Structure 1
Amino acid sequence: MPTEPHSFPSGFYLLVEKAVDVVLEFPADGDSGGPFWNDDGQLDLVRCKEWDQEEVGVVPLGGNRYRLAERQLGPFSGLRLYWGDEFNADKGEDGTLRLTSVCMPRLYAHFRLLTSGGFSNDHQLAQHLHSLGGGGEAVAGGVLTLTVPAERASHLQRLMDML
């Protein structure tokens, strides 16, 4: 990926650029992953009694706050956070982050789609997505995640419905 700010098709990609790799521990329910949280971002530890962990890329934002940059297991991840989502976590002595809450309201809305064709910056949907300040990522030959600022989610949904 290009590293010059002017070479990004959207400023969204700059938000996840300086990520570091860590192990993130999060509460999971065993069936559909986790974490689950309430409207205030507090974790649902009743539903999720087990703790799972995954290697992720995060951007430290200061204090105990982080922005998720990459779910390294891609479509096989049980993590219910996506790139751009911000959360609080305690850092262990071994560098592992233990999730304590999700920052609400979420700044970004996420759409996951299965595609049969390629998805590049030249794709009409990518151009709309980037014009709205969002970003897209295709992995595993067709699992597409589109992320857009939350206040523009309904606009992106209308565009997707028209395509």
Structure 2
Amino acid sequence: MTSPFSGIFARHDEAKRAAAAAEEAKVAESQSAEADFISAFQMAINLNAMPLFEQFVADAKANGYAAKIERVDGEDNAYCDVRFIPVPGIDFGPASATAESVFRIKGLFRTQKVEHTSFYDQRPTKTGAGTKRSTFAIQSVKEATIQRGLEEFLKDALESRSQ
């Protein structure tokens, strides 16, 4: 004779196994989507951002300003910066940190978003006022969007130092 309770135990165990399998599939899908995002972000940076960043640095140096590119590939996010000192004749060094202006494109891997940040005035007296930040989808890492962001960044940085 079969116990009336054994069916309940069996269904419960089966439901737990199905839930665990669904969770494993969800984690695998998330990891796959994150890997796809990382690949797309790195490709977009290489194809669209780097040529514009290199042109920005070349133009800044040709006009007497210090500028450089910095790139970091982290575990949770990666970013690419243009660092620029909007005062002619000042070079990078320990004393120049607050004089630097930074335009950053950052890939946020877990949320699969891209953050564009302009730290155009980092002087201590300008706390928070010299920053613009927007978050977009991966499609924002395209030439026209980056160029527009760099143009605004350059204008803001130069203007902030002329006041």
Relative to the length of structure 1, the TM-score reads 0.27
Q: Which structure shows the higher strand fraction?
A: 1
Larger RCO: 1 or 2 (CA < 8 Å, sep 6+): 1
Q: Which structure shows the higher helix fraction?
A: 2
Specify the structure having the higher radius of gyration (Cα).
Answer: 2
Relative to the length of structure 2, the TM-score reads 0.27
